[in-house]
Amino acid sequence: MKRHISLIGAPTDIGAGARGASMGPEAMRVANIQSILESHGLEVQDRGNLVGPSNPWQPPVDGYRHLPEVTAWNLAVHEAVHAELDQGRLPILLGGDHCLGLGSISAVARHCREKGKKLRILWLDAHADFNTSQLTPSGNIHGMPVACLCGLGPQQLIEIGGQVPAINPKWIRQIGIRSVDEGEKRLVHEQDLEVFDMRFIDEMGMRHTMELALATLDANTHLHVSFDVDFLDPDIAPGVGTTIPGGPTYREAQLCMEMIADTGLLASLDVMELNPALDVRNKTAQLAVDLIESLFGKSTLMRK
């Protein structure tokens, strides 16, 4: 089955605590994301960049930074991602900071409701991104998209997508987590989020972790991957604003992507938080593209 992919650039750092993720989409284009995917026999269209408000770089208001601008960007992402899915295409959202996971995943959830599909979300990240305005130390909304998707957040964000909550927390598997704020920790526990943190990966290995994260999928499941580049160990991926030591190695990350590819169910993808201002000769963008190749089935040998 030939897969049809659409690249959607979302050049903003509106929800982040550091400037620069707005340059992420172009860095992935410079790292040849389109031609590399095409070399694997995929049909790829680059839809260019979405447009939205510029970053006013203001302090938080009532616990949220840039809420009107974050809302505008997420509405644009939501419509763009939904339109591609509606045409039977596989959207790759090139972020942009991770607040946009809200627009993307609410679109995926809406698509799944319309088509009667089950949804599984893999959230690859150093952070749980499960903050609320009461819990957040910073007000940066890139720390809140999972909570918003689960219906915890400001009205104008949680209602994007037309149903509140947009998703059930049971549909999510978080992988690679190693930094959770104090109050956020309690909320993750209360909502019973399934989290495979770095201790779990250390003890059980990436293979067993992914077997569990991918368990109980079936042919009617839409698999969405939300890949925050800070998931990776900063030694191999310095180009993000929120590096946390002790992430997956190159080999662990490859295995994670290859096991997702093996399911054959990947149907949408976010690649978020790449920050070229903090990168070294675009190596983090190249690594992200390398891992995306594995996610779309590049393997060393012909697999039996």
Contact residues: Mn ion, CB under 5 A: 98, 125, 129, 228
Nearer to Mn ion, 129 or 293 (CB): 129
Q: Please indicate whether residue 233 is annotated as part of the active site.
A: no
127 is in an annotated binding site: yes
Nearer to Mn ion, 101 or 297 (CB): 101
62 is in an annotated binding site: no
Least distance CB 298 / Mn ion (angstroms): 25
Identify the CA nearest to 154 among candidates 18, 61, 22, 270: 61
Nearer to Mn ion, 125 or 252 (CB): 125
Least distance CB 145 / Mn ion (angstroms): 7
Q: Please indicate whether residue 127 is annotated as part of the active site.
A: yes
125 is in an annotated binding site: yes
Q: Please indicate whether residue 98 is annotated as part of the active site.
A: yes
Nearer to Mn ion, 32 or 55 (CB): 55
Least distance CB 45 / Mn ion (angstroms): 26
Nearer to Mn ion, 228 or 233 (CB): 228
4 is in an annotated binding site: no
**Other beta carbons within 10 Å of 47:** 16
Structure tokens at 253: 């990350």
Q: Which of 252, 258, 270, 273 is catalytic?
A: 273
User: What is the DSSP secondary-structure string of 203-265?
Assistant: HHHHHHHHHHHTTT--TTEEEEEEEEGGGS-TTT---BSS--SS---HHHHHHHHHHHHHHT-
Q: Which of 125, 181, 233, 279 is catalytic?
A: 125
Q: Which of 66, 98, 222, 224 is catalytic?
A: 98
Q: Please indicate whether residue 228 is annotated as part of the active site.
A: yes
In the beta sheet, which residues pair with residue 179?
127
Least distance CB 190 / Mn ion (angstroms): 20
129 is in an annotated binding site: yes
User: What is the DSSP secondary-structure string of 15-78?
Assistant: T-SSS-GGGHHHHHHHTTHHHHHHTTT-EEEEEEE-----------BTTBSSHHHHHHHHHHHH
User: What φ, ψ does residue 222 adopt, rounded to 5°?
Assistant: -90, 120
Q: Please indicate whether residue 202 is annotated as part of the active site.
A: no
Q: Please indicate whether residue 181 is annotated as part of the active site.
A: no
Least distance CB 259 / Mn ion (angstroms): 21
User: What is the DSSP secondary-structure string of 96-135?
Assistant: S-GGGHHHHHHHHHHHHHHHT-EEEEEEE-SB-----TTT
**Other beta carbons within 10 Å of 254:** 20
Annotated binding site for Mn(2+): 98, 125, 127, 129, 228, 230
Annotated binding site: 98, 125, 127, 129, 228, 230
Q: Which residues belong to the active site?
A: 98, 125, 127, 129, 142, 228, 230, 273
